[in-house]
């Protein structure tokens, strides 16, 4: 359950937003006008600039009103189920925010019922001709498209078959289950090679210097979090972790799969090291990385599904006002470094 902890009262028009702004006394010593309770002025405030009114939540516009009585709802800065109670009062009556398995969903009550739209992009509203006190007086200017994503059975298997020579080589030379006490250092060297092949800055020294510069930035700097994320991701290619919530980096996924498909085997040692360090986990009792051939194949299957997503999945457009499930959505997103060249994404 979530509550309106900041005490915001709904704004239903541009004129009402301007009137609200003019009637609020700024915080003493600051040019900030709180939208709700004065003690939460840093979290919730109202700003007028260039004939637009911004209703801010955590230093970022959540609702943006225009003089023609249209408004735009922006995705919130943070994702939390506890924030929906704070966000709904920002919106006109009969429009609200709910939480659906880790996502913000915008709900609109009309005479046809309640429509829901995933709030992953800015959504613009215009006055609705048939709105009344029981239904929303605004409607979407342009309805976003959404898709259900379903796996095509066995579509990925032809790509997995391309790695059979690599796994046969592993069984002859050194299987995944065997321990390697120096795998951490080898993993760093393999990451350097993978970054170089993707066109990213390769050396560890460059990234340490990058980290030093990022740490000097104030947290108020809008680029700090993104740059910090770049540093965290640089030695976790081709994916930021073992869990489904971690992002794929498409260029490094492609490079790793190409290393494995190359039957000349010149890059198989590096590829094997990347798989062990990124798909396995360190076991202190065992004294090294723990991984099995099955885990390695499951890891590669994830990369194949991402790189060949258009062939491995079927996308079906949802009905109007229907929110798609989260299933398989992670395969259609990719992490992009701030210094990455557009060519590297091709």
Which of these, 178, 186, 197, lies nearest to 269 by C-alpha position?
186
Residue 2 pLDDT: 66
Q: Where are the domains of the chain?
A: 14-144, 157-345
For 56-84, what is the mean pLDDT?
Answer: 93
Does the pLDDT at position 179 exceed 70? Answer: no
pLDDT tens string 103-133: 899 999 988 889 999 998 999 999 988 777 7
Average pLDDT over all residues of the chain: 88
Higher pLDDT, 345 or 16: 16
Measured between alpha carbons, how far is 212 from 234 in angstroms, rounded to an integer?
Answer: 14
Q: What is the C-alpha separation between 147 and 254, in angstroms, rounded?
A: 25
Helices within the chain (DSSP H only): 14-22, 84-87, 157-160, 164-173, 183-198, 204-216, 224-233, 250-261, 268-279, 293-307, 309-312
Kindly report, residue by residue over 278-318, the tens digit of the pLDDT: 888 777 776 667 788 888 899 999 999 999 999 999 999 88
Q: How far apart are CA 74 and CA 21, in angstroms?
A: 20
- Rounded Cα distance between 64 and 73, Å, is 7
- Return the half-sphere exposure (C-beta side, CA atoms, 13 A cut-off) of residue 240: 17
More confident residue, 174 or 247: 247
Is residue 228 helix, strand or coil?
helix
Q: pTM here?
A: 0.77
Q: Find the mean pLDDT for residues 195-212.
A: 93
């Amino acid at each position: 359950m979530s509550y309106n902890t900041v005490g915001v009262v709904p704004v239903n028009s541009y004129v009402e937003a301007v009137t609200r702004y003019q009637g609020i006394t700024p915080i003493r010593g600051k040019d900030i006008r709180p939208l709700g309770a004065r003690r939460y002025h840093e979290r919730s405030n109202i700003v007028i600039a260039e004939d637009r009114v911004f209703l801010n939540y955590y230093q970022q516009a959540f609702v943006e009103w225009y003089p023609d009585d249209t408004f735009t709802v922006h995705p919130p800065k943070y994702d939390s189920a506890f924030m929906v109670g704070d966000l709904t009062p920002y919106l006109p009556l009969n429009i609200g925010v709910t939480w659906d398995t880790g996502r913000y969903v915008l709900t609109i009550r009309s005479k046809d019922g309640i429509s829901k739209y995933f709030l992953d992009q800015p959504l613009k509203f215009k006055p609705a001709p048939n709105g009344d006190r029981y239904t929303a007086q605004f409607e979407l200017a342009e309805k976003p498209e959404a898709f259900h994503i379903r796996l095509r059975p066995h579509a990925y298997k032809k790509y997995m078959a391309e790695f059979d020579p690599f796994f046969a080589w592993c069984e002859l030379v050194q299987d995944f289950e065997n321990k390697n006490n120096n795998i951490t250092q080898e993993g760093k060297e393999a990451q350097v090679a993978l970054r170089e092949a993707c066109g990213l800055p390769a050396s560890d020294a460059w990234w340490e210097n990058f980290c030093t510069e990022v740490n000097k930035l104030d947290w108020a700097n809008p680029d700090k979090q993104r740059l910090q994320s770049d540093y965290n991701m640089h030695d976790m290619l081709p994916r930021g972790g073992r869990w489904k919530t971690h992002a794929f980096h498409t260029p490094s996924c492609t490079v790793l799969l190409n290393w494995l498909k190359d039957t000349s085997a010149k890059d198989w040692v590096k590829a094997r090291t990347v798989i062990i360090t990124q798909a396995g986990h360190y076991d202190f009792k065992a004294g090294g990385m723990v991984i099995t051939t099955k885990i390695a194949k499951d890891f590669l299957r994830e990369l194949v599904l991402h790189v060949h997503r258009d062939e491995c999945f079927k996308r079906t457009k949802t009905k109007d006002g229907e929110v798609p499930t989260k299933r398989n959505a992670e395969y259609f997103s990719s992490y992009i470094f701030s210094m990455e060249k557009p060519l590297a994404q091709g």
